[in-house]
Amino acid sequence: AQSVTQLDSHVSVSEGTPVLLRCNYSSSYSPSLFWYVQHPNKGLQLLLKYTSAATLVKGINGFEAEFKKSETSFHLTKPSAHMSDAAEYFCVVSRSDGNEKLTFGTGTRLTIIP
Amino acid sequence: NAGVTQTPKFQVLKTGQSMTLQCAQDMNHNSMYWYRQDPGMGLRLIYYSASEGTTDKGEVPNGYNVSRLNKREFSLRLESAAPSQTSVYFCASSEYGGQTDTQYFGPGTRLTVL
């Protein structure tokens, strides 16, 4: 079985300060991992994905994430928050055994303080 | 290039009524998905279609049926709506449905069942 735990349901940071959204995963197989972002009343958009190549993955809008197998973590970071980053972020795991279903975390709501 | 489109955007039903949610994609993708999103639970897969002519149950299929009408369109039907089906429904598509494939999401349908 696979699962994803997003350790914070809500994160608030000031504009211009670093962002850290934490995600731990559990998978019996070599996983692929994704971060999706959902702005209010919108669909989900891919930020970045890890597919067993480089462990440090760069995504859109200055976000990046590091896959750490020893810690079973895939935390999302950004050096400097912008007001437009306010949204809900989902960490997602996909199996590697031909079963392509995604398992979503419960989401982290990011608030940016002006 | 509209991506993934969904209709309607909003719907209010009474218990026992039926309705069909429509989804279409113009990216020539083989795989399509229906999810529901409930507060604090992330997204859960209802049904998916790996390719035209095939459909399979996801995590929460009870009370729903689907039809893969052609390569572009994938509809979700509620035969007898229940208040527990109040949710936001998202359609998604991906090129091949593989483990590393990116899923592209529509804007969602917000359904309330009274």
Strands A56-58 and A3-6: unpaired
Banded model confidence at residue B98, pLDDT cuts 50, 70, 90: confident
Q: Which residue has the tokens 């998916």?
A: B48
Contact (CB, 8 A) for A34 and A89? no
Residue range A84-98, pLDDT digits in tens: 999 999 999 987 555
Instruction: Name every chain A residue with its beta carbon within 8 A of the beta carbon of B100.
Output: 32, 49, 51, 94
Task: Read off the pLDDT of each residue in A102-113 and give the average, rounded to a whole number.
Answer: 94
The residues on A that touch B, with CB distances below 8 Å, are 4, 9, 32, 34, 36, 41-46, 49, 51, 90, 94-96, 98, 100-102, 104-107
Strands B109-113 and B87-94: antiparallel
Residue of A9, A42, A96 with shortest CB distance to B99? A96
The nearest CA of chain B is from the CA of A30 a distance in Å of 10
Residue range A68-78, pLDDT digits in tens: 999 999 999 99
Instruction: Name every chain A residue with its beta carbon within 8 A of the beta carbon of B101.
Output: 100
Instruction: Name every chain B residue with its beta carbon within 8 A of the beta carbon of A87.
Output: none
The nearest CA of chain A is from the CA of B32 a distance in Å of 11
Q: Judge whether residue A100 has pLDDT over 90.
A: no
Among the listed residues A8, A88, A76, A89, the one whose alpha carbon sits nearest the alpha carbon of residue A40: A88
Residue of A4, A43, A107 with shortest CB distance to B106? A43
pLDDT of residue B49: 93
Residue range B44-81, pLDDT digits in tens: 999 999 889 899 999 899 999 999 989 999 999 999 99
Contact A44 B40 (CB under 8 A): no
pLDDT of residue B86: 97
> Cβ neighbours of residue B72 under 8 Å, at least 6 residues apart?
B24, B25, B26
Task: Read off the pLDDT of each residue in B25-48 and give the average, rounded to a whole number.
Answer: 92
Task: Read off the pLDDT of each residue in B32-51 and give the average, rounded to a whole number.
Answer: 91
Distance, in Å, from the CA atom of A80 to the CA atom of A25, rounded to the nearest integer, reads: 25
Contact A104 B42 (CB under 8 A): yes
Banded model confidence at residue B1, pLDDT cuts 50, 70, 90: low
Q: Which two tokens stand for residue B65?
A: 């049926």
Residue range B100-114, pLDDT digits in tens: 788 999 999 999 999
Residue range A11-63, pLDDT digits in tens: 999 999 999 999 999 887 778 899 999 998 888 999 999 987 788 999 999 99
**Torsion over CA: A98, B106, B19, B35 (sign):** positive
